[in-house]
């Protein structure tokens, strides 16, 4: 199969497959940013009516006064914390803090200055952030390119500034395929080459802890102890693997065939050496 290579090829090297992540490979991130933008639409178009019903149901003066602020912040905190924990990326916590800061700045600085107190600029901010997030995820997905050649696997990321990683077949000890339920339905998945140096592997940390605390007159002191055990597990770091590519079985089979082609002469040589020893 003929492809134009954006990187220098070795002697006799040919590109067998060129691919990138499936359009739905980063669906979780897409849905996250769509949710943020959708909150802006919801609070602008539907919340006033909902707020009136909630204040009738919840007979608390503080809730009636601050129901908008309470629900606005709660609607952001829950998904951002979930993403931060399950994706082990506390950049989402920073996103939450920036959105809260943006809310306060727009409401107490910008809106009074321009007479826009009733405009709810913070909701326009959510819509804009959601749109930018969706576009950013798509650009991030399109920035990945994977090449399976007759000699190696090449992963490239970026457009203006390009990162490239090559893995020779001779360095690969194992090959794994991971698919989500959606990936099985739509035929996309992650092919993970595992090397002796640990490429394709990461660590999960299981933690058990105990704590004790006490205090009086508003003063508190506490002691906490924790222990953990780490284990190596396959990791889907997009520059180290073929991340959620279409038809992963084809890519895996071609890689296995190329690995087998390099292993065959070694087995033959070992067999001849064993026959000579006999």
pLDDT of residue 274: 65
SS3 104: helix
Q: pLDDT by residue (tens digit) across 32-44?
A: 999 999 999 998 8
Average pLDDT over residues 5-30: 92
For the chain, give the mean pLDDT.
80
Q: Is residue 67 predicted with pLDDT exceeding 70?
A: yes
Facing residues of 209 across strands?
226
Q: Which of 36, 107, 129, 43 is nearest to 76 (CA)?
A: 36
Could you tell me the pTM of the whole model? 0.76
Q: pLDDT by residue (tens digit) across 137-171?
A: 999 999 999 999 999 999 999 888 899 999 999 89
Cα–Cα distance measured from residue 34 to residue 162, given in angstroms and rounded to the nearest whole number:
28
pLDDT of residue 3: 61
Average pLDDT over residues 120-128: 92
- According to DSSP, the β-strands at 201-216 and 219-234 are antiparallel
Q: pLDDT by residue (tens digit) across 170-227?
A: 899 889 999 999 999 999 999 999 987 655 454 444 333 334 444 444 434 344 334 4
């Amino acid at each position: 199969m003929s492809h134009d290579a954006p990187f220098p090829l070795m002697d006799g090297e040919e590109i067998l497959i060129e691919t990138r992540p499936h359009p739905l490979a980063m669906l979780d991130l897409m849905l996250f940013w769509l949710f943020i933008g959708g909150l802006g639409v919801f609070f602008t178009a539907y919340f006033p009516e909902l707020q009136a019903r909630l204040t009738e149901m919840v007979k608390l003066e503080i809730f009636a006064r601050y129901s908008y602020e309470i629900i606005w912040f709660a609607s952001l905190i829950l998904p951002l914390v979930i993403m931060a924990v399950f994706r082990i990326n506390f950049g989402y916590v920073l996103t939450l803090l920036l959105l809260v800061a943006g809310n306060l700045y727009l409401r107490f600085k910008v809106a009074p200055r321009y007479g826009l107190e009733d405009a709810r600029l913070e909701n326009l901010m959510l819509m804009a952030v959601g749109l930018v997030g969706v576009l950013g995820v798509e650009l991030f997905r399109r920035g990945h390119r994977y090449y399976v050649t007759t000699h190696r696997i090449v992963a490239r990321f970026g457009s203006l500034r390009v990162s490239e990683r090559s893995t020779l077949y001779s360095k690969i000890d194992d090959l794994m395929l991971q698919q989500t339920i959606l990936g099985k339905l739509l035929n996309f998945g992650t092919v993970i080459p595992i090397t002796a140096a640990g490429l394709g592997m990461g660590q999960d940390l299981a933690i058990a802890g105990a704590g004790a605390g006490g205090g009086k007159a508003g003063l508190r002191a506490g002691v906490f102890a924790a222990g953990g055990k780490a284990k190596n597990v396959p990791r889907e770091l997009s520059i180290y693997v073929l991340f959620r590519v279409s038809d992963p079985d084809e890519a895996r089979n071609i890689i296995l065939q190329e690995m087998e082609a390099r292993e065959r002469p070694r087995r033959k040589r070992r067999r001849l050496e064993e026959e000579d020893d006999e």
